[in-house]
Amino acid sequence: MPEMVLVCGDEEHSCASVTAMMYRKYTEVMERNTGESARKAFRMGIEILKEVFGVSEREVRKADVVEQLAAVKTIHFVMQKIVTPKFLELNPERPEQQEKSAFDDYDEENGYNDGEKLESIWRVCRENLDRVVKLCIRAFHDSYTKCMETDIMSLLDYVAFEILTIREK
């Protein structure tokens, strides 16, 4: 996993791993992201930086805007391209992605779709995380807080191992 770094003035903050709590907070912020404006996107980025690096908003604002954007982009990469796909490894029968039809855009524009809204991917990720944490609490006989402070990749590796060996005695 790449190290995430944020330089705020003379101080450098780094994060080499993602805890379950960081991922949960990330999914909460991403679910609220509507993509309406650049202002809201920057606000969301600051929230993410505060959670990942454990710093105040004042500290984040000491960083150059380019530095903030680079750090947020690295965090998005880690969360979306490394951590989230790890959840897919828990399901041996991965669902097939449905290809988009040439008529989907037309149907959407003219209200012909069935009106069925897809559940937020970030809510689904958070619910899956809650299930993983619940399993780990039972397995480790540990507290919720302790499990949430654990590296998420380790938790997911453990659950994947348990799923693969569930029928063994």
Digit-coded pLDDT (tens) for 125-138: 888 899 899 988 88
Residue 9 lies in a domain: yes
Which has more pLDDT, 95 or 147? 147
In order of 37, 67, 71, 79, 96, the CA distances from 40 in angstroms are: 5, 18, 17, 20, 33
Flag the least confident range among 77-86, 100-109, 117-126: 100-109
Domain housing 64: 1-91+120-169
Q: Which residue has the tokens 């912020």?
A: 29
Flag the least confident range among 12-16, 30-34, 78-82, 86-90: 86-90
Flag the least confident range among 14-23, 104-113, 117-126, 156-165: 104-113
Residue 104 lies in a domain: no
Q: Which residue has the tokens 């003379």?
A: 10
Overall number of domains in the chain: 1
- Cβ neighbours of residue 48 closer than 8 Å, sequence gap 6 or more: 26, 29, 72, 75
Q: How does residue 116 score in pLDDT terms, banded at 50, 70 and 90? A: very low
Flag the least confident range among 39-48, 67-76, 83-92: 83-92
Residue 162 lies in a domain: yes
Residue 101 lies in a domain: no
* Helices 20-32 and 121-140, axial angle in degrees (round to 10): 160
Residues 152 and 158: their CA atoms lie apart, in Å, by 10
Model-level pTM? 0.80
Residue 115 lies in a domain: no
Q: What is the pLDDT of residues 147-159, one digit of tens each?
A: 999 999 999 998 8
